[in-house]
Amino acid sequence: MSMSNWPAEERPREKLIARGAGALSDAELVAIFIGTGCRGRSALDVARELLATFGGLRGMLDAEPGALTAAPGVGAARYAILKAALELSGRYLECGFTRGDFISDPGVTRQYLKGKLRGYGQEVFACMYLDNQHRLIRYEELFFGTIDGASVHPREVVKRVLQYNAAAVIFAHNHPSGLAEPSQADRRITDRLKSALLLVDVRVLDHMIVGDEEVLSFAERGLL
C-alpha cells in the first residue's frame, strides 16, 4: 500500500508536521527525503532497507556514491538530496559559531565539533583558536590520520597558534570507532601540547573527543 493511503498520523511527513522531527525514527526521516517508493515498496520500506544494508544512518550517509546510487530506490537524484541534507545540517551547526563569537556554552561547542568531525572515516585533529576574551578567531583541521590515529606535532601547533595570535585554544579530534573515551596516546599528546603552549602563554581550555553519540570533554573529566 502506498503511504498516501496510510492514516495521516502514520505518514512521516504529516507526523513531522504534527509532532516535530524528533518524533520520527531514522527510517521515517530518510523516507521523507526518498519521497516515493518503488516496485510495490513504500518510501519507508526503501528507507528501512537502506539503513539495514548500510548498517544504520551513518553508514548510509558515509557510503561511496556508487554504492548508494546503485541501491534500489535511490539513484542519482535521491543521492544528491540526501547528501545536500547532510551538508545543510553541517552548515546549520557551523552558523552557531562565526568569527568573534564567545565560547561560553559547552553544549553549543559540542554540537559544532560534532558537525565538523563526526563524518570522517579517519582520525582528524582540529583546533579552535581563541582571543583573550575567548572569542573564536578560527577553526582549523590540522592533522589527518588513519582509522585509529593521527600524528600530532606540537611544534606545528605552536606555529599556527602564534600565526593567529591566539590567547587560548580548544583542541578536538574524532574517534572513527564511535567511542569517545580518551586513549593513553590522547592524554600524552594533550599534556605535550599544554607544556609547549605554556611557554608562549597560551591556555588550553579543553580537548574534546567526538564519538558517534558523545563528545567527551577533557576539562569536565578533570584531565587537563
In the chain, where are the structural domains located? 3-93, 97-221
Is this structure's pTM higher than 0.85?
no
Condensed to tens digits (0 to 9), the pLDDT of residues 161-209 reads 999 999 999 999 999 888 899 999 999 999 999 999 999 999 999 999 9
Say what the pLDDT of residue 165 is.
96
| pLDDT band at 2; cut points 50, 70, 90 | low
What CATH fold (topology level) applies to the domain 97-221?
Answer: Cytidine Deaminase; domain 2 (3.40.140)
Task: Count Cα neighbours of 197 within 13 Å in the Cβ-side half-sphere.
Answer: 27
CA-to-CA distance for 172 and 179, rounded, in angstroms? 14
**Which amino acid type is present at position 39?**
R
Say what the pLDDT of residue 89 is.
77
Q: Give the chain's mean pLDDT.
A: 85
